[in-house]
Amino acid sequence: MVISKGRYLLLFLCVQLVVMALLYREGYRKRVAYFFGIFYKGGSASMGLINPHNLSQAGDVYANLSLISKPSLREEELPYCPETSPFLGGPIRVKLPENLLLEEVERKNPYVTKGGRYKPPDCESTHKTAVIIPHRNREQHLKYLLYYLHPFLQRQQLNYGIYIIHQAGNFTFNRAKLLNVGFKEAMKDEDWDCLFFHDVDLIPEDDRNIYICDRFPKHASIAMDKFGYKLPYKSYFGGVSALSPEQYMKMNGFPNNYWGWGGEDDDIGIRVALSGMLISRPSVQYGRYKMIKHGHDKGNEQNPKRFNMLTKTRRTWKQDGMNALQYILISKELQPLYTNITVDIGTDKGLRPHT
């Protein structure tokens, strides 16, 4: 009896293997590989552990990149990337190297392609993330951010693209409107499933802060050095945040009418609540950032109307946002490390006529 039971079990296993093999041949390769992957990993995600590969270079954001290589498979044959990337290293030591050149950043990131795009060469990523950076006159900060962000995202095995949204002209800066432009232009390129809205001067300090979207809009920069690595107040939404296209459209994007410094981040936080969503956050251990020290920019003076405007968000959010966005696209260039979008967003009086 015991013997015959054993035989049946063996027969059953053989049938299973044959079915698997057939599926594999039939082009279900990825799914089967994924299935085996689950067993292989033993189901234990090791998010809390420091990868042993790089113990000697702990904290160096470039430490694990040399482990990434291109197998001799065609792109459609690549397996899905594992749930947890094997290249994560945990905390990152942030130092700002003197005399850094963009060419050096290019050299250190050989798999990044034109327009600042990347796909893992060894597996198919299940995440497509665009990073949107509002910018004017902060070239030095941009260089440092690119130096850290590219390897950071590659360690997370993401399919990603980096967009710089450059405000043309000298009129007062408008961060939130630039982010709306970034959303619109990035979505024309690709069906991104997550957008990270990222200050140019914030460097992430832990690669377990994964740049993917959550069920609710995510505020990622919850522990910044400038606020003593604590959230300054509960509804705070400034710095780095992440929304899926659905979440973004549900709140009608960001406001277009905050000119100058301040207020727009709180308005965005209020929109999240008004459209019936909550704020999601990473753990404080992971959501850590260093802000590169800077003074006040010319052309981004404090917006004195911000407190008054914030009392009106409930009445204005449905009228002002993605549905009222107007701008003139001046250029879109595919640079080696990023896509540069230069845009005329006009002034508080509206768009200037073409000349």
Chain residues that interact with ligand UD2, rule: CB under 6 A: 133-138, 173, 175, 199-202, 224, 238-239, 261-262, 264-265, 291, 297, 299-300
* Residue 265 touches Mn ion, criterion: CB under 5 A: no
Question: What are the DSSP calls for 298-323, one per residue?
Answer: TT--B-TTHHHHHTSHHHHTTTSSGG
Q: Give 322-326 contacts, CB < 8 A, sequence gap 24+.
A: 322/180, 322/183, 322/184, 322/248, 322/249, 322/252, 322/253, 323/252, 324/256, 325/177, 325/180, 325/181, 325/184, 325/253, 325/256, 326/350, 326/351
Helix (H, G, I), strand (E, B) or coil at 132: strand
For the bound state, the minimum distance from the C-beta of residue 240 to Mn ion, rounded and expressed in Å, comes to: 11
By C-beta, is 201 or 205 nearer to Mn ion?
A: 201
By C-beta, is 119 or 136 nearer to ligand UD2?
A: 136
What is each CA distance from 203 to 276, 301, 348, in whole angstroms?
30, 24, 31
Q: Which stretch binds Mn ion (CB under 5 A): 39-47, 73-81, 166-174, 199-207?
A: 199-207
By C-beta, is 119 or 138 nearer to ligand UD2?
A: 138
Dihedral sign of CA atoms 182, 185, 190, 193 in order: positive
Q: Where are the alpha helices (DSSP H) in the chain?
A: 2-23, 29-41, 102-108, 139-155, 175-189, 245-250, 264-274, 306-310, 313-316
For the bound state, the minimum distance from the C-beta of residue 199 to ligand UD2, rounded and expressed in Å, comes to: 3
Residue 182 contact among Mn ion, ligand UD2, none, beta carbon within 5 to 8 Å by kind: none
Q: How far is the C-alpha of 55 from the C-alpha of 89, rounded, in Å? A: 9
Residue 138 contact among Mn ion, ligand UD2, none, beta carbon within 5 to 8 Å by kind: ligand UD2
For the bound state, the minimum distance from the C-beta of residue 355 to Mn ion, rounded and expressed in Å, comes to: 33
By C-beta, is 201 or 206 nearer to Mn ion?
A: 201
Residue 190 contact among ligand UD2, Mn ion, none, beta carbon within 5 to 8 Å by kind: none
Residue 264 contact among Mn ion, ligand UD2, none, beta carbon within 5 to 8 Å by kind: ligand UD2
By C-beta, is 51 or 241 nearer to ligand UD2?
A: 241
For the bound state, the minimum distance from the C-beta of residue 117 to Mn ion, rounded and expressed in Å, comes to: 26
For the bound state, the minimum distance from the C-beta of residue 138 to Mn ion, rounded and expressed in Å, comes to: 9
Q: Where are the alpha helices (DSSP H) in 112-164?
A: 139-155
Using CB under 5 A, which of 142, 163, 201, 320 touches Mn ion?
201
* Residue 264 touches Mn ion, criterion: CB under 5 A: no
The per-residue b/e assignment along 63-101, b for 16 or more CB within 10 angstroms, e otherwise, is bbbeebeeeeeeeeebbebbebbebbbbebebeeeeeee
By C-beta, is 87 or 259 nearer to Mn ion?
A: 259
* Residue 206 touches Mn ion, criterion: CB under 5 A: no
Q: Which stretch binds Mn ion (CB under 5 A): 31-39, 87-95, 197-205, 260-268?
A: 197-205
